[in-house]
Amino acid sequence: MPRVTAVITTFNRAEFLRPAVQSVLGQTFRDLELLVLDNSSTDSTQAVVQQFDDPRMRYIRHAPLTIGGARNEALRHATGEFVAYLDDDDEWLPDKTRKQVDAFAHMPEEVALVYGGFVRFDGHGREFATHLPVLRGKVLTGLLWQDPFTGSASNPMIRASVLHVLGGYNPSIATSEDWELYLRLAERYDVENIPDVVVRIRKHSGPRLGDRLPDAGHVEEMVLARYRSVMSPKLQSFYLQKIGGKLCRIGASSQGRARIMEAIRIHPLNLLARGQLAVSFLGPAPYRWMHACYKRLF
C-alpha cells in the first residue's frame, strides 16, 4: 500500500486540472497514489486524465456531491497512511509530500495534521502573496479567529486514521468544509507546521465556493453555536458581526441588523460593527458597495 493518498476533487475545471495532476505525479516522494474524483463534469475532464499514463493514478467519476461528500468518497477509496487533498486549481511544490511525511516521522501520535506555507498566484502565473505558517500545537482558538492557516484544503497532510475517527467532512455544508473539519480536529488533536512554502494557490475569476454568502453564513452560524461556550465576548461579537454583514449583503437587512446589534451588545467596543449597523439602513446595494470598498482598503 502507498504511504500517501493524494486526492484531487474536480468539477468542470479541465483547463486547470492538468497542472494540478502534474504537480502530484511529479512529487519527489514517490510512494503515493493519486485519486481524481470527478463530480460528473461535462467538459473535457476525463480526456485530460486519460492523457496521463501512471499506474499510481485512479480516476473515479461519481454522481454530483457536495465538496465534503466528494472528499469523503475519496476517503473510502484511500489506502494510504496519510491523506492530502489538492483543489483542482492549485499546485503542489515538488517536495511537499516528502517534507510532510518526514515531519510526521518525528512527531508524536497526537499530531494529526502537518501543513506548510503557501503562495498565491494569478492567471498569468505571477506569485503575489506568501503566507508562512504560524499556528501549531493547540490551534482551536486561532482557527476560530479565522487565521489564514493553510490557505486552502490543498495544503495539509492528515493522518487517515484521524479522518476516519472524525467521520470525515461534513457533507451537508456547501462551503468552508475544510475549515469546519480542522476545527473538529483541533478539539482533539495537535497540529504541526513546517516553515517552507509547499503549495501554490490560484486566484482567478471563476466561481469559488467561498463566494456563496448564504452558505458561508450558515457555516459561521454552526460554528458559533458549537463553540460559543469557549469564545470570549470579543470573539462572539466578531462572528455575529460577520454573519450580520452577510445577511445585509444578500438583502436580509432586518435579520442582519439584529445580529450586528447583538455583536455590539456583547462587545460595545466593536467599532466595525457600529459602522456596519449605520450602513445597513442604506439598503443592500449601498451596503455591498461599502463592503467592497472596505475589502479593497483592508
**What confidence tens digit (pLDDT) does each residue in 4-48 have?**
999 999 999 999 999 999 999 999 999 999 999 999 999 999 999
> Do the domain assignments include residue 214?
no
CA dihedral 274, 277, 281, 285 (to 10 degrees): 110
- Rounded Cα distance between 72 and 227, Å, is 24
In a domain, 226, yes or no: no
Is 112 found in the same domain as 56?
Answer: yes
The length of the chain in residues reads 298
The answer to whether position 196 is within a domain reads yes
Residue 107: which pLDDT band, with cuts at 50, 70 and 90?
Answer: very high
Q: CA 89 to CA 10: how far, in whole Å? A: 9
Q: Do 93 and 239 belong to one domain?
A: no
Residues 162 and 287 in one domain: no
Same domain (yes/no): 151, 256: no
pLDDT for res 210: 47
Residue range of the domain that includes 190: 4-209
pTM to 2 decimal places = 0.93
What average pLDDT score do residues 122-135 get? 92
Q: With a cut of 70, say whether residue 211 has pLDDT above it.
A: no
Cα 247 to Cα 250: distance, rounded to the nearest angstrom: 5
Are residues 99 and 171 both part of a single domain? yes
Same domain for 198 and 248, yes or no, is no
Residues 178 and 237 in one domain: no
Q: How many domains does the chain have?
A: 2
Mean per-residue pLDDT for 279-287? 95
Q: What is the pLDDT of residue 294?
A: 87
220 in any annotated domain: no
- Indicate if 55 and 137 belong to the same structural domain: yes
- Residue 207: its pLDDT value, please? 52
* Residue 235 grid cell: 470573539
Q: Do 9 and 89 have their domain in common?
A: yes
Q: What is the pLDDT of residue 205?
A: 61
Q: Please give the pLDDT value at position 221.
A: 97
Q: What is the mean pLDDT of residues 176-189?
A: 97
- Band (pLDDT 50/70/90 cuts) for residue 111 is very high
Q: Does residue 185 form part of some domain?
A: yes
Evaluate if residue 256 carries a pLDDT over 70: yes
The chain-wide mean pLDDT, for the chain, equals 95
Average of per-residue pLDDT across 55-63? 98
C-alpha cell of 3? Answer: 504511504
Give the residue from 174, 209, 244 where a domain finishes.
209
Same domain, yes or no, for 187 and 64? Answer: yes
Last residue of a domain, one of 176, 209, 242: 209
> 295 falls in which pLDDT band (50, 70, 90)?
confident
Does residue 265 sit in the same domain as residue 125?
Answer: no
